């Protein structure tokens, strides 16, 4: 049987994943400093209220709407504010599915989207599975991360259909600045491109810069088509309740939403229970986010205190999100370093190359980790760095 060329040539795990599986099979405890699932991080959830939200009588009714239930869209619009309306939204089963719909909407096989790098590696496969190419365009670091607008403009080709940005970026934590936003929307407007803005981490601002763009929704009338993505996974810390959404603004928004609804209508993938529960889940979300933010700040302070005694190590600014970039002497490849930390210190970290970070001097840690595990993990890895 011949498989599609859109798939990987093989499914063998990389060296780090293979080593992790072997250690766990041997019963060895590994401290995971890459954890991104809040439900596994010891947070207190309003369990009774969540269960009640999912047991409303309306969860037994099925009244499909290609854009998603109006009550859920109204609640999401109220959560975001900035003039967003239920009519501007389309619900998806996840942010990843949202990308799939948008790539179907915007491109034909062989077209491409531009993705500022470093960034999460999922974009390559989400685009490839739709027959598109995700073309990375390096950003640069000077005191903080910056989009290279000149490089983005130079990368636009006749097959380019969109630019994808994450605000704040995963894993760099970089929020777009207001100047970057103006230049980016102007570039897209001039070159006839759509702008996809992933704001799943937008509620988790940390080391705030005066000029940062807190959300793309601040621009009520963007000069290019803008598709903003988010979901319950980060907004409410509930990744298991699969609900994402796309907000559409800018030129052609009404036509784009009509076409997206046609695409979504072929799948109707969003479950009725989570749509019925969404208004109540969003009401419950603020305290959950507060607990997560508290964890992020605590672990960031723990890291800073530890780094004060490690002159060879430093960290990059964390404007937002759940990750921190640890900078180390690049005495070996970052993948080799991560493998050494796993096998010698029993601690899992991400090598910077996983996110296309330049050079070999970066490791990526999750600030979502339980405080005690984060402290212990740092104590274990620092002697090896």
Q: What is the pLDDT of residue 355?
A: 95
Going by C-beta distance under 8 Å and a sequence separation of 6 or more, which residues neighbour residue 348? 16, 20, 30, 31, 32, 33, 34, 338, 341, 342
Three-class SS state of 133: strand
Instruction: Verify cis geometry, omega within 30 degrees of 0, for the bond prior to 268.
Output: no
Q: What length is written for the chain? A: 385
Per the domain annotation, does 6 fall within a domain?
A: no
Statement to judge: residues 225 and 353 lie in one domain: no
Q: What is the pLDDT of residues 66-80, one digit of tens each?
A: 999 999 999 999 999
- Taking the C-alpha atoms of residue 348 and residue 339, their distance in angstroms, rounded to an integer, is 8
Going by C-beta distance under 8 Å and a sequence separation of 6 or more, which residues neighbour residue 305? none
Statement to judge: residues 228 and 244 lie in one domain: yes
Number of domains in the chain: 2
- Taking the C-alpha atoms of residue 245 and residue 181, their distance in angstroms, rounded to an integer, is 21
Per the domain annotation, does 7 fall within a domain?
A: no
Statement to judge: residues 51 and 132 lie in one domain: yes
**188, 195 Cβ separation under 8 angstroms:** yes
Pairing of the two strands 314-315 and 89-92: unpaired
Statement to judge: residues 55 and 203 lie in one domain: yes
Single residue among 231, 254, 283 that ends a domain in this structure: 283
Per the domain annotation, does 311 fall within a domain?
A: yes
- Taking the C-alpha atoms of residue 113 and residue 284, their distance in angstroms, rounded to an integer, is 36
Q: What is the pLDDT of residue 238?
A: 97
- Taking the C-alpha atoms of residue 130 and residue 196, their distance in angstroms, rounded to an integer, is 16
Statement to judge: residues 112 and 68 lie in one domain: yes
Per the domain annotation, does 2 fall within a domain?
A: no
Per the domain annotation, does 191 fall within a domain?
A: yes
- Taking the C-alpha atoms of residue 155 and residue 148, their distance in angstroms, rounded to an integer, is 11
Token look-up 């928004």 returns 253
Neighbours of 220 (CB within 10 A): 10
Which neighbouring-strand residues pair with 231?
A: 244
Give the CATH number of the domain where residue 360 resides: 3.90.1150.10
Give the CATH number of the domain where residue 157 resides: 3.40.640.10
Per the domain annotation, does 5 fall within a domain?
A: no
Q: What is the pLDDT of residue 71?
A: 96
Per the domain annotation, does 272 fall within a domain?
A: yes
Single residue among 283, 310, 339 that ends a domain in this structure: 283
Statement to judge: residues 171 and 116 lie in one domain: yes
Statement to judge: residues 99 and 177 lie in one domain: yes
Statement to judge: residues 130 and 187 lie in one domain: yes
Single residue among 252, 267, 283 that ends a domain in this structure: 283
Structural element, H or E, at residue 326: strand 323-327
**pLDDT tens per residue across all 385 residues of the chain:** 888 989 888 888 899 999 999 989 999 999 999 999 999 999 999 999 999 999 988 888 888 999 999 999 999 999 999 999 999 999 999 999 999 999 999 999 999 999 999 998 899 999 999 999 999 999 999 999 999 999 999 999 999 999 999 999 999 999 999 999 999 999 999 999 999 999 999 999 999 989 999 999 999 999 999 999 999 999 999 999 999 999 999 999 999 999 999 999 999 999 999 999 999 999 999 999 999 999 999 999 999 999 999 999 999 999 999 999 999 998 899 999 999 999 999 999 999 999 999 988 999 999 999 999 999 999 999 999 9
Pairing of the two strands 112-117 and 160-166: parallel
- Taking the C-alpha atoms of residue 300 and residue 319, their distance in angstroms, rounded to an integer, is 12
Statement to judge: residues 211 and 310 lie in one domain: no
Statement to judge: residues 32 and 51 lie in one domain: no
Q: Which domain holds residue 173?
A: 47-283
Closest CA to 274 of 232, 313, 306: 232
Q: What is the pLDDT of residue 62?
A: 85
- Taking the C-alpha atoms of residue 320 and residue 171, their distance in angstroms, rounded to an integer, is 9
Which two tokens mark 200?
Answer: 């799943």
- Taking the C-alpha atoms of residue 114 and residue 124, their distance in angstroms, rounded to an integer, is 10
CB < 8 Å & 24+ apart, contacts of 331-340? 332/360, 333/360, 334/360, 334/361, 334/362, 334/363, 335/14, 335/15, 335/16, 337/363, 337/384, 337/385, 338/16, 338/363, 339/15, 339/16, 339/19, 340/384
Statement to judge: residues 182 and 292 lie in one domain: no
Q: What is the pLDDT of residue 56?
A: 87
Per the domain annotation, does 138 fall within a domain?
A: yes
Statement to judge: residues 122 and 243 lie in one domain: yes
Q: What is the pLDDT of residues 261-280, one digit of tens each?
A: 999 999 999 999 999 999 99
């Amino acid at each position: 049987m011949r498989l599609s060329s859109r798939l990987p040539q093989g499914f063998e795990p990389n060296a780090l994943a293979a080593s992790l599986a072997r250690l766990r099979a041997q019963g060895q405890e590994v401290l995971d400093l890459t954890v991104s699932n809040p439900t596994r991080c010891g947070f207190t959830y309003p369990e009774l209220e969540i269960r009640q939200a999912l047991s409303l009588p309306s969860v037994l009714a099925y009244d499909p709407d290609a854009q998603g239930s109006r009550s859920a869209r109204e609640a999401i619009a109220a959560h975001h504010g900035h003039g967003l309306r239920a009519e501007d939204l389309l619900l998806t089963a996840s942010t990843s599915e949202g990308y799939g719909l948008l790539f179907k909407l915007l491109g034909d096989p062989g077209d491409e989207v531009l993705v500022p790098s470093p960034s999460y590696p999922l974009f390559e496969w989400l685009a490839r599975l739709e027959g598109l190419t995700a073309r990375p365009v390096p950003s640069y670091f000077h005191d903080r991360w910056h989009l290279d607008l000149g490089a983005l403009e130079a990368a636009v080709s006749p097959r380019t259909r969109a630019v994808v940005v994450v605000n704040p970026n995963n894993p760099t934590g970089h929020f777009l600045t207001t100047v970057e936003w103006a230049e980016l929307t102007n570039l897209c407007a001039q070159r006839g491109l759509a702008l996809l803005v992933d704001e799943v981490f937008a509620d988790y601002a940390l080391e705030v810069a005066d000029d940062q763009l807190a959300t793309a929704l601040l621009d009520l009338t963007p000069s290019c088509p803008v598709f903003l993505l988010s979901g319950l996974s980060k907004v409410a810390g509930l990744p298991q309740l699969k609900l994402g959404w796309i907000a559409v603004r800018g030129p052609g928004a009404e036509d784009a939403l009509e076409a997206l609804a046609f695409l979504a209508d072929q799948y109707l993938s969003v479950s009725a229970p989570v749509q019925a529960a969404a208004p109540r889940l969003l009401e419950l979300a603020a305290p959950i986010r507060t607990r997560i933010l508290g964890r992020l700040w605590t672990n960031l302070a723990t890291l800073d205190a530890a780094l004060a005694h490690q002159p060879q190590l430093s960290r990059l600014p964390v404007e937002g999100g759940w990750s921190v970039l640890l900078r180390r002497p690049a005495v070996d490849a970052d993948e080799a370093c991560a493998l050494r930390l796993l096998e010698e210190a029993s601690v899992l970290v991400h090598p910077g190359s996983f996110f296309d970070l330049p050079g070999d001097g970066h490791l990526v840690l999750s600030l979502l980790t339980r405080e005690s595990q984060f402290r212990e993990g740092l104590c274990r890895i620092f002697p090896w760095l």
